[in-house]
Chains A and B, each alone.
Chain A
Amino acid sequence: MQLTIITDLNKCVGCKSCQVSCKEHNTSGDFGPVPDHDPYREAEGMWWNRVIGMEAGEYPHVGVMYLPKACMHCYDAPCVPVCPTGASYKRDDNGVVLVDYEACIGCQLCMWACPYGVREFDEHEGVVKKCTLCIDRIEDESLPPEDRQPACVQSCPTHARTFGDLEDPDSAVAHLVAERQGFVLLPELGARPAIHYLPRRHAPGIVDPETIDRVLGEGS
Chain B
Amino acid sequence: MRPTWPLLALTLLQGVSWGVMAVVAAALVGGWPVSTGTVQAWEWLAWGTGALGGSASVFHMHRLAAARYVLRRLRSSWLSREALSTGGYMAVLSVAVALRVLWPQASGLWEAATLLAAGLGAVAVYITAMLYATIPAMRSWHSPLTVVVFFAAALLSGGAGAGAVGALLGGPGLGGLPGLDAAFALVFGALVSLQIRAFRVAAAGVLAATGTGLAGRPYRLQDAGGSRPPYRTQTQIWPVLPAAVRTSGYAAVLVLAVVGPCLAAAQGTTGLVWGAGSAWLGVALSRWMFFADATHSSRVWFADQPKTPSPVRREPGRPYGRRREDSV
- Interface residues, chain A, with chain B CB atoms under 8 Å away: 9, 19, 42-47, 50-59, 61, 63-65, 67, 69, 78, 81-87, 102-109, 111-123, 125-127, 183-187, 189-190, 199-200, 202
A-chain residues with CB within 8 Å of residue B76 when the two chains form the complex: 81-82
A-chain residues with CB within 8 Å of residue B225 when the two chains form the complex: 19, 47, 50-53, 69
Q: Which of B34-82 contact A (CB under 8 A)?
A: 60-64, 66-67, 69-73, 76-80
Q: B105 near A: Cβ within 8 Å?
A: no
Q: 10 nearest interchain CB pairs?
A: A50-B225, A117-B298, A106-B62, A126-B62, A53-B223, A81-B76, A85-B69, A126-B63, A115-B137, A84-B79
Q: Is the CB of B216 within 8 A of A56?
A: yes
Within the complex, what minimum Cβ distance (angstroms) separates B165 from chain A?
A: 33
Tell me the complex Cα distance, A121–B78, Å. 20
* Neighbour of A102 across the interface among B61, B66, B79, CB < 8 A: B66
Which of B113-121, B206-214, B272-280 lies on the face that meets chain A?
B206-214
Tell me the complex Cα distance, A3–B217, Å. 31
Q: B226 near A: Cβ within 8 Å?
A: yes
Q: Is the CB of B311 within 8 A of A59?
A: yes
Q: Is the CB of A83 within 8 A of B73?
A: yes
- From DSSP, what is the main secondary structure of chain A's interface residues? loop
Within the complex, what minimum Cβ distance (angstroms) separates A41 from chain B?
A: 11
A-chain residues with CB within 8 Å of residue B1 when the two chains form the complex: 112
Taken residue by residue from 208 to 234, chain B's Cβ proximity to chain A (1 for < 8 Å, 0 otherwise) reads as: 100111111111111111111010111
Tell me the complex Cα distance, A103–B73, Å. 12
Among A58, A118, A120, the one with the most B-chain Cβ atoms within 10 Å of its Cβ is A58
Tell me the complex Cα distance, A123–B73, Å. 24
Taken residue by residue from 279 to 319, chain B's Cβ proximity to chain A (1 for < 8 Å, 0 otherwise) reads as: 00000000000000000111111100000001110000000
Q: List 24 A-B contacts (CB under 8 A).
A: A44-B233, A45-B233, A51-B223, A52-B224, A54-B219, A54-B220, A57-B216, A67-B301, A85-B72, A103-B72, A105-B62, A105-B67, A105-B70, A106-B62, A111-B235, A112-B138, A115-B137, A115-B297, A115-B298, A117-B298, A119-B234, A123-B62, A126-B62, A126-B63
